[in-house]
């Protein structure tokens, strides 16, 4: 399996999905073989996996798609990655990503963009673009990404695979390089609901190394279409305007399939969602500005020397961080500064509470909520790189879920043909907190 994955990775190099290989993979595969020979039952025995390059794996490079970490080698392994290895999986390498997970296209990576396997002129989505491409192009059967505002779900929808953002606290963040700590979650990419269930049963569970980790043992399984009978599905009205025709058609076809299986489908309005993008960026950027203060050239990664320590730190950050990361540190610092804090950060936190409360209210009436994952399929490379606001607006359907800490799954549900090319379209299902299992069962039912 490892040899097959490595040759697929080699053949797919032009897609730029993989940024480094794990030198220890061969030895790990042999160690797994020895465990299997001893009679150990391992749920992921020998399964090759790529993980996003912001997840630490001991002895491997962890660059976070940034020049500032170009020479950084992880001294320890993230809990999520360690759990995979414990279950017999072999981490073969690291997947490309937007720099520090900031972006929606994987174009801000210092390694260059990951290309969409359906149309190489288009973006993979982001920020976990490399992981989505890896699964879509068959480099590894599953992969890990991280989702702060849509970074697992949106690239999954652009590449035509499943992408799950678990309930905040369900999967340990220990060893995930922080972007916005109150929003970040590690999540899996896969081709089938069965594979999602298999992975989540390994990944989820309490971890004493993450203070926000929840005590909620995983119980993932998949079911048949029969179980969709009576399921109450709420279609979020605020997501209905502004989609491309193919996205609208895919949503309608999905709703028809649900009705056909006996689900009850109705519309629901969550008016506060129109403030989600503004609130999200006013929370994510301040948290990022604080989290990224540690990259000052003193402890981690590259250092540019200067005549004194201040100059060394300034030059290191100036040359090490790309333009999008610098923009966010500046905006985040501004929003947190005295005099502006009340107008921006504090207000955004109040909107966050209102959004979470509105979701909770909707779940009084519905078992799951549904929206498209993105208003459009994969856009062209370069289309949004000079317009940060257009790039931020691409997250309109995904960010509110992170603000509320909820689980959400992007399901590959259809296609839209653009300029003669078939592009995948994803539909997003949202469940109440800790009901991640419901999403995977629903996906199994739709298959």
Catalytic center residues: 52, 127, 151
- By CB under 6 A, residue 95 contacts ligand GLN: no
Measure the CA angle with vertex 334, ends 333 and 336; round to 5°.
65
Spatial contact of 4 and 139, defined as CB atoms under 8 Å apart: no
Please list, residue by residue across 8-38, b when 16 or more beta carbons sit within 10 angstroms of its beta carbon and e when fewer do. bbeebeebbbbbbbbeebeebbeebeeeeee
Q: Which of 28, 56, 77, 104 binds ligand GLN (CB under 6 A)?
A: 104
Q: Which of 79, 116, 127, 201 binds ligand GLN (CB under 6 A)?
A: 127
- The Cα 399–Cα 203 span in angstroms is 23
In the complex, the smallest distance separating the C-beta of residue 397 from ligand GLN, rounded to whole angstroms, is: 12
- By CB under 6 A, residue 147 contacts ligand GLN: yes
* Span of 149-157, 297-305, 342-350, 370-378 interacting with ligand GLN by CB under 6 A: 149-157
Kindly tell me which of 103 and 246 has the beta carbon lying closer to ligand GLN: 103
Half-sphere exposure for 240 (CA within 13 Å, toward CB): 14
Kindly tell me which of 270 and 396 has the beta carbon lying closer to ligand GLN: 396
Spatial contact of 401 and 409, defined as CB atoms under 8 Å apart: no
- By CB under 6 A, residue 222 contacts ligand GLN: no
Kindly tell me which of 64 and 231 has the beta carbon lying closer to ligand GLN: 64
Binding mask 277-306 for ligand GLN (x = CB under 6 A): -------x----------------------
- By CB under 6 A, residue 396 contacts ligand GLN: no
* Span of 77-85, 99-107, 116-124, 430-438 interacting with ligand GLN by CB under 6 A: 99-107
- By CB under 6 A, residue 103 contacts ligand GLN: yes
- By CB under 6 A, residue 151 contacts ligand GLN: yes
Kindly tell me which of 198 and 396 has the beta carbon lying closer to ligand GLN: 396
In the complex, the smallest distance separating the C-beta of residue 447 from ligand GLN, rounded to whole angstroms, is: 26
Question: Quick one: angle between helices 25-37 and 2-11, nearest 10?
Answer: 150
- By CB under 6 A, residue 374 contacts ligand GLN: no
Strand partners, 90: 48
- The Cα 249–Cα 416 span in angstroms is 9
The answer for residues whose C-beta is within 8 angstroms of residue 41's C-beta and 6 or more apart is none
Place of tokens 């090319």: 421
Kindly tell me which of 230 and 382 has the beta carbon lying closer to ligand GLN: 382
Q: Which of 102, 196, 313, 370 binds ligand GLN (CB under 6 A)?
A: 102
* Span of 8-16, 86-94, 141-149, 300-308 interacting with ligand GLN by CB under 6 A: 141-149
In the complex, the smallest distance separating the C-beta of residue 267 from ligand GLN, rounded to whole angstroms, is: 27
Question: Quick one: angle between helices 276-291 and 345-362, nearest 10?
Answer: 130
* Span of 43-51, 144-152, 334-342, 370-378 interacting with ligand GLN by CB under 6 A: 144-152
CA nearest neighbour of 232 among 408, 369, 361, 359: 369
Kindly tell me which of 277 and 427 has the beta carbon lying closer to ligand GLN: 277
Q: What is the sign, positive or negative, of the torsion defined by CA atoms of 434, 436, 437, 438?
A: positive
Which residue's beta carbon is nearest to the bound ligand GLN?
Answer: 151
In the complex, the smallest distance separating the C-beta of residue 54 from ligand GLN, rounded to whole angstroms, is: 9
Place of tokens 């549904």: 370
- The Cα 19–Cα 64 span in angstroms is 10
Kindly tell me which of 65 and 414 has the beta carbon lying closer to ligand GLN: 65
* Span of 85-93, 101-109, 314-322, 437-445 interacting with ligand GLN by CB under 6 A: 101-109
- The Cα 323–Cα 317 span in angstroms is 11
Kindly tell me which of 261 and 355 has the beta carbon lying closer to ligand GLN: 355
Kindly tell me which of 119 and 287 has the beta carbon lying closer to ligand GLN: 287
Q: Which of 168, 179, 220, 363 binds ligand GLN (CB under 6 A)?
A: 179
Q: Which of 99, 287, 395, 397 binds ligand GLN (CB under 6 A)?
A: 395
Residue 81: cis peptide before it, omega within 30 degrees of 0: no
Size of the site for ligand GLN (CB under 6 A): 13
Q: In which order are the strands placed within the sheet that holds 408-418? A: 18-21, 90-95, 48-52, 142-147, 185-190, 162-165, 408-418, 421-430, 368-372, 232-236, 264-268
CA nearest neighbour of 398 among 259, 255, 284, 231: 284
> Where along the sequence are the contacts to ligand GLN (CB under 6 A)?
101-104, 127, 147-151, 179, 284, 395
């Amino acid at each position: 399996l490892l040899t097959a994955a490595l040759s697929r990775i080699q053949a797919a190099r032009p897609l730029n999905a993989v940024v480094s290989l794990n030198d220890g993979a061969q030895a790990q595969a042999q160690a797994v073989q020895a465990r299997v020979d001893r009679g150990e039952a391992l749920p992921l025995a020998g399964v090759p996996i790529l993980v996003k390059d912001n997840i630490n794996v001991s002895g491997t490079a962890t660059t976070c798609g940034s020049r500032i970490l170009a020479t950084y080698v992880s001294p320890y392994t993230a809990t999520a990655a360690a759990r995979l290895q414990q279950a017999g999986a072999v981490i073969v390498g690291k997947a490309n990503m937007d720099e520090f997970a900031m972006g929606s296209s994987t174009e801000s990576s210092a390694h260059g963009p990951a290309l969409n396997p359906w149309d190489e002129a288009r973006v993979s989505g982001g920020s976990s673009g490399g992981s989505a491409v890896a699964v879509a192009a068959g480099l590894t059967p599953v992969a890990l990404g991280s989702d702060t505002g849509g970074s697992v779900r949106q690239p999954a929808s652009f590449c035509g695979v499943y992408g799950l953002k678990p309930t905040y606290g369900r999967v340990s963040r220990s060893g995930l390089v922080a972007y916005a700590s109150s929003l970040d979650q590690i999540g899996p990419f896969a081709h089938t609901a069965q594979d999602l269930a298999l992975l989540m049963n390994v990944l989820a569970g309490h971890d004493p190394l993450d203070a926000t980790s929840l005590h909620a043992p995983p119980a993932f399984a998949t079911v048949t279409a029969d179980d969709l009978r009576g399921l109450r599905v709420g279609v979020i009205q605020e997501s209905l305007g502004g989609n491309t025709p193919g996205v609208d058609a895919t949503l309608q076809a999905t709703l028809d399939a649900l009705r056909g299986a006996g689900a009850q489908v109705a519309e629901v309005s969550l008016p506060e969602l129109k403030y989600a993008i503004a609130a999200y960026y006013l929370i994510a950027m301040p948290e990022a500005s604080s989290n990224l203060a540690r990259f000052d050239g003193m402890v981690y990664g590259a250092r540019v020397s200067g005549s004194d320590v201040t100059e060394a730190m300034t030059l290191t950050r100036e040359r090490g961080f790309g333009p999008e990361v610098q923009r966010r540190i500046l905006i985040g610092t501004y929003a947190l500064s005295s005099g502006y804090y009340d107008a921006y950060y504090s207000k955004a936190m109040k909107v966050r509470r209102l959004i979470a409360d509105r979701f909770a209210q909707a779940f009084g009436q519905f078992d799951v909520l549904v929206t498209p994952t993105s208003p459009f399929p994969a856009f062209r490379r370069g289309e949004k790189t000079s317009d940060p606001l257009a790039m931020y607006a691409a997250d309109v359907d995904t960010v509110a879920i992170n603000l509320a800490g909820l689980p959400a799954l992007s399901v590959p549900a259809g296609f839209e043909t653009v300029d003669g090319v078939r592009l995948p379209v994803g539909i997003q299902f949202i469940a109440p907190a800790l009901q991640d299992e419901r999403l995977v069962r629903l996906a199994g039912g739709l298959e």
